[in-house]
Amino acid sequence: MPMLTVSGLTKRFGALRAVNNVSFDVDGGEILGLIGPNGSGKSTTFNCIAGLYAPDAGTIAFEGAEISGLPPYRICHKGIARTFQIPRPFHNLSLLENVALSAFFGRDRAVTQKAAWDYAEEALAMVGLPTDARVTTDGLGAAALKKLELARALATQPRLLLADESLNGLDHTEMEQAADMLQRIRREKGITIVWVEHIMGVLMRVVDRVVVLDHGEVIFAGAPKEAQENARVVEVYLGSEAVA
């Protein structure tokens, strides 16, 4: 049984079908790339899975149980965490406090203060940010803010991570580091990952499969190599020169 099954998912904004009858599975242990042009429905799909939006139609099953329509905190308690495309940390709190706060609202609801701090230290170490309680968000660049966003998600102790990252503003080395980090998260924590990313060279190296969206619909699901050879995927998204 897949870990996550999305069936016939539809989300409308007025007349716009941002997500239109989308179906795909996520298998436990995989890194799945969810890709497509700007506005194709990737973040809206995440928002439906994570409970920020109630779907207009369709079902979402996580580990065999229906979750669509549940509020975000209940979905988080079940073991799904997501990062936001635009990081919005609490700027008046330290990095450690930002991440510890997530732990209090995560899968382990009996978390003690000590355990929350331990989870936060572990998550910060995993993404390579300082665990010193005095370090604040002042002066953090795009790459560090993305890492903090990831640490906040990890501190909820998820089984499934939805990583919404457009790595705008990162240089090539930082992009490669972000990809390595996701692989390490899977390897060391056993966390299944759905990764939204626009930099194809980096994404294709890391993912086991890709699902491609266009105008809210799935136009391809399969191996990265086959996606790169698929005429429709190349036409609507990759372009003939985009895949390095």
Retrieve residue 26's tokens.
């996520």
Spatial contact of 98 and 89, defined as CB atoms under 8 Å apart? yes
Q: Which residues pair with 218 in a beta bridge?
A: 213
For residues 159 and 155, give the distance between their C-alpha atoms in angstroms, rounded to a whole number: 11
- Over the window 49 to 88, marking each residue x when it contacts Mg ion by CB under 5 A and - when it does not, the resulting string is ------------------------------------x---
Looking up tokens 């903090």, which residue turns up? Answer: 148
Q: Which of 85, 136, 177, 228 binds ligand ATP (CB under 6 A)?
A: 85
Q: Supply the minimum distance, in Å, between the C-beta of residue 167 and Mg ion.
A: 12
Spatial contact of 7 and 59, defined as CB atoms under 8 Å apart? yes
Residue closer to ligand ATP by CB (options 95, 161) is 161
18 binds, among ligand ATP, Mg ion, none (CB under 5 to 8 A by kind): ligand ATP
Retrieve residue 103's tokens.
């732990």
Q: How many residues bind ligand ATP (CB under 6 A)?
A: 13
For residues 59 and 24, give the distance between their C-alpha atoms in angstroms, rounded to a whole number: 11
Site residues for Mg ion, 26-45, by CB under 5 A, read 42-43
Could you tell me which stretch among 34-42, 138-146, 175-183, 185-193 binds ligand ATP (CB under 6 A)? 34-42
